[in-house]
Structure 1
Amino acid sequence: MDSILVRGNGELHGDIPIAGAKNACLTLMPATLLSDEPLTLTNAPRLSDIKTMTTLLQSLGAEVSSLQDGQVLAMSSHNINNHVADYDIVRKMRASILVLGPMLARYGHAVVSLPGGCAIGARPVDLHLKALEAMGAELELKDGYIHAKAPGGLKGGIVNFPLVSVGATENALMAATLAKGTTVLNNAAREPEIVDLAQCLRKMGAQIEGEGSSTITIQGVDRLNGATHPVVTDRIELGTYMLAPVFCGGEVTCLGGRMDLVAAFAEKLDEAGISVEETDKGLKVARRNGLIRAVDVTTAPFPGFPTDLQAQFMALMCIAEGTSKLEENIFENRFMHAPELIRMGADIEVHGGTATVTGVKQLKGAPVMATDLRASVSLILAGMAAEGETVVSRVYHLDRGYERVEEKLGAIGAHIERISGV
């Protein structure tokens, strides 16, 4: 099993290219199931989760080809011959549930295993199921599988989400494109990945209005055609690499970065004393005066502070001046990185969904273990600001969401290397 070795670092300088969004690509890929014509995605990230979704789609009979070193995905679902998403594949990744809506909409039936993924709370799929039921789906949970059918096809309906759910919004949006009549999604998620999906579906012939707002209206069509679509920039990778020069000093430009993707995050960086400047190349980041101020953060659905940047920001607050409070409102059990940061000398107290972090002058390198995707990269960032060496184990989590981390950080001066497992 691979590990990442990080040594305490000096200043970082240069450019970091930001990949296409993992969460967007994992949503766009199942959209191929809605049409028998080719769907091509450009700017695709090269990640293990993308390989898992590729395997899942291929198991259903879709053709998926990875081109141009994995940055282009050419897909076709003209010969779907299996309607069962098997547990052995689905258990590896929560996004696998996103094949349910498209399969049900196009074929009228599907059997999908309950999904897996990072261990960051229960993350139930009930909102996905209630949305599909509002469109006339008949659902049964049996032996760990969702058995779904819509013998006469899905029908337009009113979906009132009691909570904002990105995944449920995505599943319902895809399903509604082929439903008979009009579907309205109320309290829909507003994330850029939702907007990206709607734009792709519109290229395929879908009739959608309101994406990016809390109400999305979809007029169902008889069929969708093929399309070519670029995956939106990964705002979580963007936010993560924006922090690199903050931990180490220096100045780094995140290529392709846009302020609208990380506005709430950039606002907190500004409060902490960090300069973020939008240029024609991307976002340029540097400390203003060498100091980092403690800042309180509360995670919230977009356009609020992203839960997927909470671990990285906590690591930063470990070396800030003063005491900060981080409140996690999206997922339970999402402070599992705190004990690992404490091993490095951090001062953190966790009570329920709130973590209190008092900054220390210096973190110390230590052997630590990644507990989930975002926790893994937070430990790498902390290691770059620590004295001595930090070894981060279980980095298979990291490879699910960040492509070629050691290459990207190494290119701007970070002392980082991958240690291959025995």
Structure 2
Amino acid sequence: MKSMIIQGGNRLSGEITIGGAKNSTVALIPAAILADTPVQFDTVPDILDVHNLMIILESMNVHSNFTHGVLDIDPTQIIESKLPSKAIKSLRASYYFMGALLGRFHRAVLTFPGGDNIGPRPIDQHIKAFKAMGAKVVEDHGTVNITAENGLHGARIFMDMVSVGATINSILAAVRAEGTTIIENAAREPEIIDVATFLNNMGAKIRGVGTDVIRVEGVDSLRSMNTHTIIPDRIEAGTYLSLAAAVGDGITLHNIIPEHLESFTSKLIEMGVQLEIGEDSIFVPHSGPLQAINIKTLPFPGFATDLQQPITPLLACARGVSVIVDTIYPQRIKHIPELQKMGLEVSTQKDVILVEHTRQLHGAKVQAGEIRAGASLMIAGLMAEGQTVISHADNILRGYDRIVWKLNRLKANVHIEDESGVEVTE
């Protein structure tokens, strides 16, 4: 595992461009195998999850090429094969191959997906949807076998809980099924709209994305005619907004969809951050005195669970006690003991996070337990005096496009080292 080395205590300034959305990309790549033609994606984030998904594609004889943010995928010679368990277990989003393979071949065999350990994230809603469409599911010693010998058929599916993953997987399975599938209590995240837009541009018939009822009329073929440009990553944007408010002397973020960030930017404004929001950019000036706030994470358009960790170090700059309640993943608190090592006055009481005003942070050796926890430690390291060493930095690299290059472009002092202490590029 790599380590991120940060020399903190410097004020940052400049401008960067936000990359394509990770949470779209990791669904779009599996979705590509549903196409009967080669496909191309633009503004693809250069993250470890993309490279692991490319390994999975190659195991199915699906060749891909990733250069300068453009990803070409050719599924025309796809074959059924055993998928590499190491790559599958490296990221949770590998479960999208369940829906995609089921839609393409009417069967799928995968080991249970891995990814961040942030509390219970069962796939029962995915399985429920597949069964409703006529599939049989057998779980055996960590492997999921899904078959639909007579093909998939349209169905009415009610999600017992709002789930982005289950909503997307249901769409992937239904898009080439026979008949119409209705998904009720569907998630409404922008990344779902992005995936549906890609599929519709290839000839799919998906309606209602962005609402809680989605209708999918199955089609026989999907053919790509144009490059699909991935939407900007609202979580990356929120992470840099937190960083800019905490240690910035004027930072501009480009490639932003402000509407996707309203629940987050409204909280920054409530704190006293003076944001200048444009059509597709946000400027964050040097922040003055900030006030404590209360945050409750909710499904979109509410405050994203993926942003409760990156905002935590910023809350330490505010006068008073800020409160975070994560209703999506209450156990997402692995960053708390690591932040405490750096002197941040933060604690938990029955899954409620309390952040007190902290005058000064100091560098320390900490561990990135997962992507967003790592982002939280990264921001704290930039705020702290001295050197911070974040081990398991691969978790940060999994989710943030060219993170070291972007930070240093803002005049930070950051680099990555391998296990032997040798500096490496991302």
Could you say which TM-score interval applies, normalised by the shorter chain? over 0.9
The answer on 1:364 being equivalent to 2:362 is yes
User: 2:280, 2:87 → 1: CA distance?
Assistant: 39
User: 1:274, 1:297 → 2: CA distance?
Assistant: 16
* Structure 1 residue corresponding to 2:347, chosen from 342, 349, 357: 349
**Structure 1: unaligned runs, 5 residues or longer:** none
1:211-290 mapped onto 2 (5 Å cutoff): 211-227=209-225, 228-280=227-279, 282-288=281-287, 290=288
User: 1:177, 1:396 → 2: CA distance?
Assistant: 34
- Change in CA separation of 1:281 and 1:130 when aligned onto 2, cut-off 3 Å: closer
Residue aligning to 1:41: 41
* Aligned-residue offset at 1:218: 0.8
User: 1:346, 1:157 → 2: CA distance?
Assistant: 50
User: 1:117, 1:258 → 2: CA distance?
Assistant: 27
Secondary structure at 1:52 match in 2 = helix
User: 1:230, 1:281 → 2: CA distance?
Assistant: 15
* Aligned-residue offset at 1:287: 4.5
Residue aligning to 1:129: 127
Task: Name the Cα RMSD after superposition.
Answer: 1.4
Q: What is the TM-score of this pair, normalised by structure 2?
A: 0.95
Equivalent pair of 1:83/1:109 in contact (CA under 8 Å): no
Query: Which segment is superposed worse, 355-364 or 90-99?
Result: 355-364
* Aligned-residue offset at 1:391: 1.6
User: 1:160, 1:186 → 2: CA distance?
Assistant: 5
User: 2:271, 2:173 → 1: CA distance?
Assistant: 42
1:114-125 mapped onto 2 (5 Å cutoff): 114-125=112-123
* Aligned-residue offset at 1:332: 4.1
Residue aligning to 2:22: 22
Residues 210-259 of structure 1: CA deviation (Å, up to 9, x unaligned): 11111111111111112420111111111111122211131111111121
Secondary structure at 2:73 match in 1 = strand
Equivalent pair of 1:16/1:241 in contact (CA under 8 Å): no
User: 1:89, 1:418 → 2: CA distance?
Assistant: 22
**Structure 2: unaligned runs, 5 residues or longer:** 421-426
Secondary structure at 1:326 match in 2 = strand
Could you tell me which amino acid in structure 2 is paired with residue 41 of structure 1? Answer: F
User: 1:199, 1:323 → 2: CA distance?
Assistant: 42
1:3-402 mapped onto 2 (5 Å cutoff): 3-67=3-67, 69=68, 71-227=69-225, 228-280=227-279, 282-288=281-287, 290-402=288-400
User: 1:281, 1:152 → 2: CA distance?
Assistant: 47
* Aligned-residue offset at 1:85: 2.9
* Aligned-residue offset at 1:414: 1.7
Could you tell me which amino acid in structure 2 is paired with residue 278 of structure 1? Answer: I
Secondary structure at 2:275 match in 1 = strand
Equivalent pair of 1:273/1:293 in contact (CA under 8 Å): yes
Residues 67-100 of structure 1: CA deviation (Å, up to 9, x unaligned): 3x3x111112122222433422211111111011
User: 1:149, 1:244 → 2: CA distance?
Assistant: 47
Could you tell me which amino acid in structure 1 is paired with residue 236 of structure 2? Answer: E
User: 1:34, 1:160 → 2: CA distance?
Assistant: 24
Q: What is the TM-score of this pair, normalised by structure 1?
A: 0.96
User: 1:15, 1:252 → 2: CA distance?
Assistant: 5
Equivalent pair of 1:83/1:110 in contact (CA under 8 Å): no
Equivalent pairs counted in the alignment come to 419
- Change in CA separation of 1:419 and 1:292 when aligned onto 2, cut-off 3 Å: farther
User: 2:384, 2:161 → 1: CA distance?
Assistant: 39
Secondary structure at 1:100 match in 2 = helix
Secondary structure at 2:199 match in 1 = helix
Could you tell me which amino acid in structure 1 is paired with residue 8 of structure 2? Answer: G
Secondary structure at 1:37 match in 2 = coil
Residue aligning to 2:402: 404
* Aligned-residue offset at 1:281: 5.3
Equivalent pair of 2:316/2:344 in contact (CA under 8 Å): yes
Equivalent pair of 2:9/2:386 in contact (CA under 8 Å): no
Secondary structure at 1:111 match in 2 = strand
User: 1:386, 1:358 → 2: CA distance?
Assistant: 16
Equivalent pair of 1:337/1:375 in contact (CA under 8 Å): yes
Equivalent pair of 1:9/1:414 in contact (CA under 8 Å): no
Equivalent pair of 1:16/1:254 in contact (CA under 8 Å): yes
Could you tell me which amino acid in structure 1 is paired with residue 309 of structure 2? Answer: A
User: 2:300, 2:370 → 1: CA distance?
Assistant: 21
* Aligned-residue offset at 1:156: 0.5
- Change in CA separation of 1:78 and 1:295 when aligned onto 2, cut-off 3 Å: same
Task: Indicate the percent of aligned positions where both proteins have the same amino acid.
Answer: 37
- Change in CA separation of 1:421 and 1:88 when aligned onto 2, cut-off 3 Å: closer
Secondary structure at 1:349 match in 2 = strand
User: 2:257, 2:272 → 1: CA distance?
Assistant: 20
User: 2:33, 2:314 → 1: CA distance?
Assistant: 41
